[in-house]
Amino acid sequence: MSGSIPAPRGAGHSPRLPRLLAALHDRLPKDRAIEWARVLDQASGPADPVLTRFATTQVAAGLAEQLDTVIRVWSAECANLPGSALSLALASMSETARPIPPQPVVSGPVSPAVPARLTSGIALDVIRSASVSLLIASFAARGAETVISEIADAAHRGVRIDLLLEETTHAADAFSTLPNDVQIWHRIPHSGVIHAKLIAADRHTAVLGSANLTDRALTDNIELGVVVRDPTVVGPLVDHFRWLISPQAAIMRRSDR
């Protein structure tokens, strides 16, 4: 098959290269996908040194290994195909609206086993993507100054912000510097606690998992989560938390700060 364009999926032998490019596109934010397309466009083929040099600059967990897999499969399936063809395929995916599957998010040690984003980075990305509302839930909060700074920036650009925080852990103390229009919610005294960990931007993107908004949880602890970019999933999730803080539910109360 060397030198040929990969056959369509389902047409006899199904090549891996199209699937690998699709997985790569699904992982990368749009600006990073554009950067990757630009680098691929410069490559004459899978052996071009520009690709190995680019791989050494990739610091996200497993991303260099993902590129190495693309190069190896590219070489095995269609070595004569120029990088401009792969670049065009990647750019075309960025211009075509399609559902993005949930992606893993991790804290702590990283490995090439799962192509995952780091919790600290994806939390900032999700907060930055909010233009109307930001809903955050956490059991504990300490430090996390970069996250708090991004929340403050969101408040300054007019985003409605609701923080659902566990009162017994004094999580609200970490957000004392935020503007007064940022609303903090505690659960009305009950046997249960707020244990959910969620950051939801508008109704389109959410990261949920095990990590609290603490320095250790965002970086050093072994934590696991997913980022969801599907409004059909994120919307009802936001609606549920909006119901929790509604007066008629009588479950949460606004903190006087």
Please give the model's pTM, rounded to 2 decimal places. Answer: 0.68
What's the pLDDT score for residue 97? Answer: 62
Q: Give me the phi and psi of 205, to 5 degrees please.
A: -140, 140
Paired with 136 in beta bridges are: 163, 199
What's the pLDDT score for residue 13? Answer: 47
Helix pair angle (17-27, 83-94), 10° resolution: 50
Q: What's the rounded Cα separation, in Å, for the pair 106 and 89?
A: 28
What's the pLDDT score for residue 99? Answer: 65
Rounded-to-5 percentages of helix, strand, coil across the chain:
40, 20, 40
What's the pLDDT score for residue 14? Answer: 55
Which domains does the chain carry? 17-94 (no CATH), 100-254 (3.30.870.10)
What's the pLDDT score for residue 4? Answer: 43
Low-confidence ranges of the chain (pLDDT < 70): 1-14, 61, 97-99, 114-115
pLDDT digits (tens, 9 = 90+) for 38-70: 999 999 999 999 999 998 888 776 788 888 999
